[in-house]
Amino acid sequence: MSDDTHFPPEHPKISYGKTGILLVNLGTPSGTDYWSMRRYLGQFLSDRRVIEVPRLIWYPILHLIILTFRPGKSGKAYAEIWNEHNESPLLTTTRNQAENLQERLKDKNIHVDFAMRYGKPSIEDKLQAMKDQGVDRLLIFPLYPQYSATTTATVMDEVFRKLMAMRWQPTLRSVPPFHDDPAYIDALAISVEKSMAAQNVNPDMLVASFHGLPKSYFMKGDPYHCQCHKTGRLLMEKLGRNRENFMVTFQSRFGPQEWLQPYTDKTVVALAEEQKSVAVVTPGFVTDCVETLEEISIGVHEEYEEAGGTQFNFLECLNDSPEAMDMYEHICLRELSGWV
């Protein structure tokens, strides 16, 4: 909106009056080659929210060791899942989520876009683009159901850091953690039931695998562990399961320190040795990505079979399914109350 009817002739042209929603996911490299991976990992692993080791100790390890050897290994993992659009599934699906949400809200003068905390499109670029399009009331939607300083907090850090450079800042709101939101639990349950029906499975054990976190972060007060377990309990109850056939685990550990347990890979191997059928769902990820498609669907699946297991099923994330979009619309309209 831009109404310059009452402006003096020399007044600069401005746009204003729109409400915006910015979906923010973790991020993705621009390619699977060494240098693309190095740039992405360098940005991600330099975040003080992600790695809390003192910089004097961490930077030599990061730049001399990790960023020398890790890009090649990570690039191979991404290459396993790189899609026909020559990009990661996380980028494709997050774009689809934003476009689908925009279509649902098109009659409400709401502008929807998306950004990545690491990589492109950046939060800085999208904040400026939305401001240029007249957004002066903005809802930030970190796409992490469970809060952690390593995810939700670093998104908001980056938003605030970029807003500090703006002369005319938009009024800001952010979506709170939605780990126990009925709309989210309903969407998860529908997605799990659809995926199990499509694969014609009813596993002995349904494993809800969440991204891991160093145990030390939990001991310092990060609520992530508790929120993951609450999501797990609510999903278990919604599906009519119990602790004999449903469990919460944690994946993606990195480095030598202890992380939240039980570990997904070790748990699945133990279930294979007991000859139990397993299905894995990843409720902490709203979008399929390298941690779900490569680490779980390929890597953990292979470990399960090597341990003698005979039936392993991977259940895809919410992605841009109808139940996911119902959830996004419900949460956004609730959080925009009073603005639209």
Residue at 340 is within a domain: no
Q: What is the pLDDT, as a whole number, of residue 15?
A: 76
- At residue 107, the pLDDT reads 92
Q: Identify whether 13 is part of a domain.
A: no
DSSP letter for 250, please. Answer: E
Q: Identify the three-state secondary structure at position 15.
A: coil
Residue 153's pLDDT is: 98
Q: What is the pLDDT of residue 8?
A: 72
- Report the distance separating Cα 23 and Cα 157, nearest Å: 15
Residues lower than pLDDT 50 in the chain:
none
Same domain, 38 and 171: yes
- Find where tokens 């989520």 sit: 97
- Residue 106: CB atoms within 10 A of its CB come to 11
Looking at the structure, do residues 228 and 142 belong to the same domain, yes or no? Answer: no
Query: Residues 169-195: pLDDT tens digits?
Result: 999 999 999 999 999 999 999 999 999
Q: Judge residue 146's burial from the number of C-beta atoms within 10 Å of its C-beta, 0-12 exposed, 13-18 middle, 19 or more buried.
A: buried
Instruction: Compute the distance between CA of residue 188 and CA of residue 183 in angstroms, rounded to an integer.
Output: 9
Amino acid in position 74? S
Q: What's the rounded Cα separation, in Å, for the pair 191 and 283?
A: 10
In a domain, 12, yes or no: no
Give the pLDDT confidence score for residue 245 in this predicted structure.
98
**CATH code of the domain containing 110:** 3.40.50.1400
String of b and e for 310-319 (b: at least 16 CB within 10 Å)? ebbbbbbbbb
Whether omega for the bond prior to residue 121 falls within 30 degrees of 0, making it cis, is yes
User: Are 116 and 191 contained in the same domain?
Assistant: no
Written as one string, the DSSP assignment of 211-222 is E--BHHHHHTT-
Task: Please state the domain count of the chain.
Answer: 2
DSSP state of 11: P
The answer to whether the beta carbons of residues 135 and 127 sit under 8 Å apart is no
Q: What value, to the nearest 5°, has the Cα angle with vertex 157 and ends 40 and 178?
A: 95
> Is residue 3 included in any domain, yes or no?
no
DSSP state of 255: S
Of 336, 291, 334, 286, residue with least CA distance to 96: 286
Q: Which of 183, 180, 188 is nearest to 239 (CA)?
A: 188
Distance of CA 109 to the CA centre of its chain: 26
Q: Cβ contacts of residue 38 below 8 Å, gap of 6+?
A: 67, 71
Cis, bond preceding 262 (omega within 30 deg of 0): yes
Residues 245 and 121 in one domain: no
Give residue 6's pLDDT: 64
Q: What pLDDT, on a 0 to 100 scale, did the predictor assign at position 259? A: 98
Same domain? 173 vs 186:
no
Q: Which residue has the tokens 């790189």?
A: 82
32, 165: one domain: yes
> Looking at the whole model, is its pTM more than 0.85?
yes
Residue 5 lies in a domain: no
**Within a domain: residue 171?**
yes
Same domain for 192 and 173, yes or no, is: no
> Would you list the DSSP string of 75-121?
HHHHHHH--TTSS-HHHHHHHHHHHHHHHHTGGGTEEEEEEEEEESS
Going edge to edge, which strands form the sheet with 171-174?
Answer: 110-119, 18-28, 135-142, 171-174
Show the domain range for 105.
Answer: 18-177+324-335
Percentage of the chain lying above the pLDDT 90 cut: 93
For residues 331 and 175, the answer to whether their CB atoms sit within 8 Å is yes
Domain contains 212: yes
